[in-house]
Chain A
């Protein structure tokens, strides 16, 4: 009798243990669901920033845009980057519904930097080029022709929701064309 009861208790324990090991990892669980997340530690560190002016460099894991000599790698911790970029920006923040995140937007003269928050740390989410005073490392700026973009970045771009997209690691750069000319260039972090 005791053995049977013990078996049942053990069975329950096994079920609970299995349950504890199944489902999604806590590491990837949204904040409200589980606080067991660990901070993202694989954010791109930015690679080598060799450009003095503007442009992007091929970081190991992500695109990096460089503005006024400051590297802005996608998915990198945002605070240090924003500090380096200086005070010449206007700031906007918008909490998501039910505080599931905070969109932070830093608008500079020629670019817009967006960040996302994960585990209380802000990371670079996107960089938008606002005008033709800045360019990618490949020399593409607002107003460039579609042919120039394809010549610089290749013919293998994907047509995504953000335009023609070129992926590098956990980021992509996208171009939107109107009448054959580039009207928008955006670097975007792919958030895992």
Chain B
């Protein structure tokens, strides 16, 4: 039996077969390219896991009334599990390495596509950056975002001089040179990734006491850059439009140095907008931080015990000042958190076991980099 084409020619069986073969070849080629792209993209599963954080948010099932935005000063310093266990606060840290202020803004836009939190807590350290800094950090924040106008805008705002939008649209173009350095981890995680955080909190249970820091360098100009302050203003407006309370914080860690002049400018911004700004550097004693045991890297970041103390302290502030739900009373949400807590506890036990056996962590952090 023959079918007729538009110009009256007979569509023979062999013609149909040819078409099918061509279509099949195209599909196979595209599939191969897609697979190669997935294979070649960094997996961020061992050592440097920060590139996995942004995309993990989309897998979180429970609602979040508090969203934290910022860099390592949030994702390493605040235990989301402590916030839930002590106060019933359901929160998520949308943090990433050296997250720039405009990236925080666009991540907030992105978050609002999925839920509207009651409180957004923004850590102010990144306000010191007024320009794109590093492709590696950009990738860790941007590659994990789902495609949306927010992601496109964030890429455009973040690209360094040598970066191109096309490389973000087709990451294969950027990552092709990784073919010679692929590891077993790359093959293992082509289609799925292991979890690396507990609702955005990156755990480190080891201890390295805080030491002395070098004196801060004098700066020619202490004015926080216009660009970052403009995005902070936009963040404030976005929160206002969505009935979200914005809270500005500076994490209690002392390095990188946070200049008093910067602190004053954030204070002025907060006063002018009627929002709180809390510099927790001044509250280290009040929250019971003992930096001889509450940091894992000589004071740059808090470890697990430090993050639990900070969470306990900031959690009290949040429930005292905002109408937050105690989700421990809601079985469905509490059930989701049970899974998170199981993960958290198993991670804690695994890290403690390694510390006990080796005196250091070998499966996390710098020692685990492949």
Contact = CB atoms under 8 A, between A and B. Distances in A.
Interface of A: 1, 4-5, 8-9, 12, 15-16, 19-20, 22-24, 26, 28-36, 90, 92, 94-100, 105, 107, 112, 128, 159-164, 174, 176, 183-184, 186
Contacts of A36: 177-178, 180-181
Contacts of A1: 18, 21
A96 B18 CA distance: 56
Nearest to B26: A8
Contacts of B172: 19
15 contacts: A19-B176, A30-B135, A33-B136, A35-B180, A36-B178, A90-B212, A98-B51, A98-B97, A98-B98, A99-B366, A100-B137, A105-B214, A107-B215, A162-B219, A174-B220
Contacts of A183: 218
Interface in B211-233: 211-215, 217-221
A183 B98 CA distance: 30
B268 interface: no
Given A8-B22, A16-B36, A98-B48, 17 more contacts: A5-B25, A8-B25, A8-B26, A28-B162, A29-B177, A30-B134, A30-B135, A33-B42, A94-B297, A97-B71, A97-B72, A97-B97, A98-B72, A98-B136, A99-B366, A107-B214, A128-B217
A164 B221 CA distance: 11
Nearest to B255: A94
A130 B38 CA distance: 50
Contact of B220 (A16, A19, A99, A160): A160
Contacts of A8: 22, 25-26, 29
Contact of A186 (B18, B167, B217, B297): B217
B297 A95 contact: yes
A32 B18 contact: no
B213 to A, nearest CB: 7
Nearest to B24: A5
Contact of A9 (B29, B47, B97): B29
Interface in B144-176: 162-164, 167, 170, 172-176
Nearest to A18: B173
Contacts of A162: 219-220
Given A1-B21, A8-B29, A92-B212, A19 B97 contact: no
Interface in B172-206: 172-178, 180-181
A183 B256 CA distance: 21
B142 interface: no
A32 B139 contact: yes
B234 interface: no
Contacts of A174: 220
Contacts of B281: none
Nearest to A177: B220
